[in-house]
Amino acid sequence: AFIGCYTLELRQPQEDINNFTYEERNQRSRETITWLKVRNHGLPMHIICSNTNTILDQLRTLIITNNNIDQTLLQTDELGMTPLHVLCLNPKATPAMFKILANACPQ
């Protein structure tokens, strides 16, 4: 799914992947998968917005219980993405989810 992703390619040393052995390519793939799984560590809004099992009530609860919601919604991950960017990539996101996120932080 991430083959040819320019942002991920920038994270990697500029080496010619065609010169890698099969084992080296597999190792590089495992490292990328691990990074993708942990890149939102410490960013609860990013985690909930990326989860395809998230429902509107979970999102609403996280927004209501967060005392620093403006700051939380403006935080960016390593790729420079805010929770709204992450939600846009979630194929199960609903219009109501976008609305509650936008209303929580209109900037």
The residue among 60, 48, 61 whose CA lies nearest residue 90 is: 48
pTM over the 0.75 mark = no
Measured in whole angstroms, how far is the alpha carbon of residue 41 from the centre of its chain? 10
- Sequence-ordered alpha helix ranges (H) in 1-107: 6-11, 22-38, 44-50, 56-65, 69-74, 83-89, 95-104
Look at 29 and 99; give whichever has higher pLDDT.
Answer: 99
Rounded Cα gap, residues 13 and 7, in angstroms: 12
pLDDT in tens, 2-30: 565 656 656 655 566 667 788 888 888 88
